[in-house]
Amino acid sequence: MTASAPVSPTVLARNTPPVASATPKVPIATGTAPPTPTKEKPPTPGPPTATPTPAQRAQYHTVSTGDTLYGISRRYGVSMEGLAEANGLSSDATLAVGQRLQIPAAGEAGGLKLPPAGQVLTAPLEQPLSQLAPGVVAFLRQRRGATAAAVYLPRTNTLYTYNPGARFQMASTVKVPIMATQLARVYAANPNAVLPGTDLLTPLITTSDNDAATALLVEVGGPPAVTAELRARGVNATEINAEAWGLSTTTAPDMALLMRSLYYGERLNPRLRDVAFRLMSGIVAEQRWGVPAGLPASSTVAFKGGWLPVQNGWLVHQIGIAVIDNEPVIFAYYNGEQPTFEYGKQTLRRAVELLSVREEK
């Protein structure tokens, strides 16, 4: 079943950058932080070298009213500069109440142990998802609306797909390509960079701030720049909408390939890759539904969701990487024509519950 584009979709955002707000020298969290713009496949592909193992679970601090980077750093006994760098922030960044900050001494990139960066990747083997997780496919087939899924296992370099050709409007999952474009720009300008060059990435990913997305999309060079970055990573089926970024279109396999590219650190150095996964591990609590809610308690996850009501129902998506029973699993779940937002969230949660049962065997 393929996802058809609605006739008159609700526009998520248009490419008109917001007016930048002044950033205080010693910021205090008082509410939502305002943005501050500042092919052919090989005949027998093999897996990338090194299968990573998960690090210890990361420690986080949830920002409360009155919190400052300095105060949080003193509380946990870390430097303010280290705390800022671990979360892709400048030392004078404005914090938002509810924002999750990773404490840098607690572990790597949101609790994920990442493989060596800069590996030469071969094309993954492709198999139907029914070969890996028949229970997931049986469940998705009986759900209402349009569904598609892609699961990539680094251990075997295999991409498992269900409805691989179905196209979906991306909603806020398009913020991951925007983030990847910004980080790649910084790396191209300075291969030794450790900071992302903007404080917009934090609200973009952790709170899914639409104004930050609009501003950063303009800053990186607009849809053509994001498209060029995706093509450079072998992500070829995604089209960025020049009028409304939330209505950009993609497929589940394409976004799984983007997450694979980020996971192996293509076009980034290790420090900038860590920024991406720390941000995706720091999603605010009210957006940690679906996949995070369905994972076993021992799992770690770095992800980004997207949700949007359109004329023919809800779009409810999530992409990311989870560690399930000590194995990294990259996923992209796309759901269209969902009767309600809650129904879409339930689809995501149950799908990953069934996948987790399979992975724990």
pLDDT digits (tens, 9 = 90+) for 52-90: 434 445 678 888 888 888 688 766 767 676 788 778 787
HSE of 197, CA atoms in CB hemisphere, 13 A: 19
The pLDDT tens digits for 181-217 are 999 999 999 999 999 999 999 999 999 999 999 999 9
Q: Supply the mean pLDDT for the chain.
A: 84
As a whole number of Å, the CA-based R_g of the chain is: 19
Which pLDDT value is given to residue 31?
39
Task: For residue 233, give its domain range.
Answer: 119-359
Q: Which one-letter amino acid corresponds to residue 351?
A: A
Cα–Cα distance, 100 to 159 (Å, whole number): 31
How far CA 253 is from CA of 173, 233, 250, in Å, comes to 13, 13, 9
What tokens appear for 141 in the block?
């087939």
Q: Among 13-22, 184-193, 228-237, where is mean pLDDT lowest?
A: 13-22
Q: Under a CB-based contact definition with an 8 Å cutoff, are residues 56 and 106 in contact? A: yes
> Given this model, what pLDDT does residue 335 score?
99
> Which CATH number does the domain housing residue 156 bear?
3.40.710.10
Laid out side by side, the sheet with 313-324 consists of 125-128, 158-162, 146-153, 327-336, 313-324, 300-310
Among 41-45, 154-158, 176-180, 245-249, where is mean pLDDT lowest?
41-45
Residues 194 and 86: their CA atoms lie apart, in Å, by: 9
Q: Is residue 318 part of a domain?
A: yes
354 belongs to a structural domain: yes
Nearest residue to 308 via CA among 217, 232, 210, 229: 210
pLDDT at 92 over 80: no
Looking at per-residue pLDDT, the higher value among 332 and 83 belongs to 332
- Residue 119's pLDDT is 80
Q: Tell me, what's the pLDDT at 273? A: 95
Alpha helical stretches, state H, the chain:
69-76, 80-86, 129-132, 134-141, 175-189, 201-206, 210-220, 222-232, 252-263, 270-281, 291-294, 341-359
Give the per-residue pLDDT at 24.
Answer: 31
pLDDT at 9 over 60: no
Does residue 43 lie in a domain region? no
Q: Among 1-10, 74-83, 175-184, 247-256, which stretch is predicted with the lowest mean pLDDT?
A: 1-10
User: If you average pLDDT over each of 13-17, 35-39, 170-174, 323-327, which comes out highest?
Assistant: 170-174
pTM above threshold 0.85: no
Residue 83 in any domain: the answer is: no
pLDDT at 238 over 80: yes
Report residue 347 as tokens: 């689809």
Token couple for 158: 């295999």
Q: What are 121-174's pLDDT values in tens digits?
A: 999 999 999 999 999 999 999 999 999 999 999 999 999 999 999 999 999 999
Total domain count for the chain? 1
Higher pLDDT: 348 or 120? It is: 348
* Token pair 């493989």: residue: 115
Tell me what pLDDT residue 72 has.
Answer: 84
Alpha carbon distance 278, 266 (integer Å): 17
Q: Does 18 reside within a domain?
A: no
Q: Is residue 191 part of a domain?
A: yes
Measured in Å, how far apart are the chain's first and last C-alpha atoms? 30
Residue at token pair 């498992």: 160
Residue 6 pLDDT: 40
Would the pLDDT of 18 be above 50?
no
pLDDT of residue 74: 63
At 34, the pLDDT band (50, 70, 90 cuts) reads very low
Query: Is pLDDT larger for residue 5 or for residue 333?
Result: 333
**Torsion angles phi and psi, residue 333, rounded to 5:** -115, 125
Q: DSSP characters for 113-170?
A: -PPPTT--PPPPEEEEHHHH-HHHHHHHHTSSSEEEEEEEETTTTEEEEESTT--EE-
- The residue with tokens 């008159």 is 8
| Residue 167 forms part of a structural domain | yes
Q: For residue 88, is it within any domain?
A: no
